[in-house]
Amino acid sequence: GLGPSDASPDEGVVEDLPLIDEKAVEQLTEGLISHYLPDLQRSKSALQELTQNQVVLLETLEQEISKFKDCNSILEINALFSEAKHYHNKLVNIRNEMMMLHEKTSKLKVSGINI
C-alpha cells in the first residue's frame, strides 16, 4: 500500500504556482482573440457563402432533374400514343376483315338459298 512517504507527484503543485495576475490573463486573452478572430470571421463568411452557393446549386440540380423527368414522361407518352396508333390500325384491319367475311358469308347464304 501507500505509505506516508509515497506522496502523489501532483501534491503541493497548486501551492507552488506563483499568483496569477488576472489583468495579465485578460490582456493575453484579448490579444489572442484579436489575433485569431479576423481570420475566423473571414472563414465563417467564406463558409456561409459556400453554403449558400451549395443551396443554389442543389436547387438548380433539382430543377434540371425535374426537366429530365418531364422529358422522360413525354417520351413515355409519345411511346404510348405510338402503341395506341399501332393497335388502332390493327383493330381497323380486323374490322375490315370481319366486314369482308360478313359480306362473303352473306353472299354464300344468298347463293346457297337460290340453289
Phi/psi of residue 101, nearest 5 degrees: -65, -40
Q: How does the average pLDDT of the chain come out, rounded?
A: 86
Q: Is the pTM of this model over 0.95?
A: no
Q: Distance between CA 92 and CA 84 in Å, rounded?
A: 12
Q: Distance between CA 95 and CA 24 in Å, rounded?
A: 103
Q: Distance between CA 80 and CA 78 in Å, rounded?
A: 5
Specify the DSSP class assigned to residue 19. Answer: P
C-alpha cell at 28: 493575453
Return the percentage of the chain with pLDDT > 90, whole number.
Answer: 65
Residue 10's pLDDT is: 57
